[in-house]
Structure 1
């Protein structure tokens, strides 16, 4: 089992996206910082995955296509667009994947591969936010459209049970 971090959107959205995938055993939701740029923590998740079922490159592709990876906006401090890596091999693979995926976007991808430094887990009541109650207005208006987009582009990577769940909301 490997782990990798992702940030770029609200951590409730990011958590729901990665919890929906085959090969992902768990997702920790909270705040990640990297010492590469002396960053303050921003909303992010740590994804625990089986590389035999889903590759790091596929996870990066899903990440780039499910948040605004080309948009610089005023909330980037809170929602840093990043892939947080736990070793040099991951850093190199994530950097290469981001570079290769650039051709799928009209604007420059701003997502950076950064070395992981620290993580703070969110409060228990916010963990698994979407799958605990997808009928909440935030889930319906913000998370669901991202999950529906995930199904359109990456249906083969989505766990069949989660596909049914998403399609019913």
Structure 2
């Protein structure tokens, strides 16, 4: 019997984050969307204004018997920079903030424990600014954002930003990759 859990992550542009998690074994579905803002059914254009409070996120449906929340978060902390507030590379704005949006208390505890461990190790040489909050107000992004990297691997942004993150995942987490 398959058990599904949902975890939502904001790690900058959702095209990049989605591309990575599509490669993780045990992840059953990955969807790009917007969450934890005030707007009702925001569009990409709305979110880009920075006035909605929404974050570009990926919603992961996963089987915890195949991949743990901790493993998903280990990937998260390797493929994005959790120390830059409202920014990932050249993507700047509150919609690109680092966030873990949990759906269970166990996910919250795992996320906080990891942040505490990484902070104690000074793993990034700077404070971790990742917010850990309950998932609120999730909205699916427009169809053209779904599977973007898969459909447009030669697009400039995908080549420059998404592809290196996917490559880093493959090198660092070969044991977690789909076979």
Match of 1:87 in 2: 104
Q: C-alpha distance in 2, partners of 1:71/1:91?
A: 21
Spell out, residue by residue over 1:118-165, the C-alpha distance to the aligned partner (whole angstroms, 9 max, x if none).
1111111220101122122221111001111111211211113xxxxx
Spell out structure 1 runs of 4+ moving beyond 4 A: none
Query: Does the CA-based 8 Å contact 1:34-1:114 persist in structure 2?
Result: no
**Partner residue in 2 for 1:58:** 71
Secondary structure in structure 1 of the residue aligned to 2:66? coil
Q: Number of matched residues?
A: 157
Q: Output the CA distance in 2 between the equivalents of 1:73 and 1:43.
A: 11
Partner of 1:166: none
Question: 1:71-86 maps to which residues of 2 (within 5 A)?
Answer: 71-73=84-86, 75-86=92-103
Of residues 87, 111, 124, the one that matches 2:130 is 111
Report the aligned-residue RMSD. Answer: 1.7
2:169 aligns with 150
Q: Deviations over 1:18-49 (max 9, x none)?
A: 111011010110111069xxx82110111011
Alpha-carbon separation, structure 2, partners of 1:126 and 1:72? 24
2:80 corresponds in structure 1 to 67
Aligned equivalents of 2:125, 2:173: Cα separation in 1: 20
SS of the aligned residue for 1:28 comes to strand
Corresponding residue for 2:8? 5
TM-score (norm 1): 0.86
What does 1:16-35 align with in structure 2 at a 5 Å threshold? Answer: 16-33=19-36
1:98 aligns with 2:98: no
Unaligned runs of 5+ residues in structure 1 are 161-169
